[in-house]
């Protein structure tokens, strides 16, 4: 539901909040958006095995 195209429509520096039990957000697209700085942060209810970057840029 939230792929690269949809995330690109968000305001620069926005925060993404996904509270769905199912995987609604495309985790790879969210990862790319976080690493590029498009998305400043987020809360994902079902993060799975992904390792997302921290505020210092570490993953």
What is residue 9's predicted lDDT score, i.e. its pLDDT? 93
Cβ proximity of 29 and 2 under 8 Å: yes
**What average pLDDT score do residues 42-55 get?**
69
- Is residue 59 predicted with pLDDT exceeding 90? no
Q: How confident is the model at residue 13 (pLDDT cuts 50, 70, 90)?
A: very high
What is residue 14's predicted lDDT score, i.e. its pLDDT? 93
pTM (predicted TM-score) = 0.69
What is residue 48's predicted lDDT score, i.e. its pLDDT? 63
Q: How far is residue 21's CA from residue 18's CA, in Å, rounded to a whole number?
A: 9
**What average pLDDT score do residues 45-52 get?**
65
Domains of the chain by residue range: 4-44
Q: How far is residue 33's CA from residue 45's CA, in Å, rounded to a whole number?
A: 17
What separation, in Å, do the N-terminal and C-terminal C-alpha atoms of the chain show? 24
């Amino acid at each position: 539901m939230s792929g690269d195209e949809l995330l690109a429509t968000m305001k620069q520096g926005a925060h993404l909040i996904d509270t769905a039990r199912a995987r609604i957000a495309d985790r790879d697209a969210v990862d790319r958006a976080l690493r590029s700085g498009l998305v400043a942060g987020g809360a994902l209810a079902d993060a799975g095995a992904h390792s997302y970057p921290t505020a210092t840029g570490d993953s």
